[in-house]
Amino acid sequence: MSDARVTDIPVADAGESFVDLRNHAELVLDGRLADPHGAYAHVRASVAARLLDAQSLLPCGLRLLVVEAYRPPVLQRRYFADYSAELARRNPERPPSWVHEQASRFVAPLRVAPHVAGAAVDLTLCEPDGTELPMGTEVNATPEESGGNCYTAAPGIPTGARSNRELLSKVLTAVGMVNYPTEWWHWSYGDRYWALRTGVPNALHGQHDAIPNQEDD
Question: What's the predicted TM-score (pTM) here?
Answer: 0.87
Give the model's pLDDT for residue 102.
Answer: 72
* Matching CATH number, 10-71+114-215, of 3.30.1380.10, 2.40.50.100, 3.10.580.10, 3.80.10.10: 3.30.1380.10
Quick one: residue 61, left, alpha or beta (phi over 0 = left, psi -120 to 50 = alpha)?
left
Domain extent listing, the chain: 10-71+114-215
Give the model's pLDDT for residue 212.
Answer: 55
C-alpha to C-alpha distances, 94 to 91, 98, 184, nearest whole angstrom: 6, 6, 27
Give the model's pLDDT for residue 162.
Answer: 97
- Paired with 26 in beta bridges are none
DSSP code string of 40-88: GGEEEHHHHHHHHHHHHHSPTT-EEEEEE----HHHHHHHHHHHHHHHH
Give the model's pLDDT for residue 217.
Answer: 39
Q: Which residues of the chain have pLDDT under 50?
A: 216-217
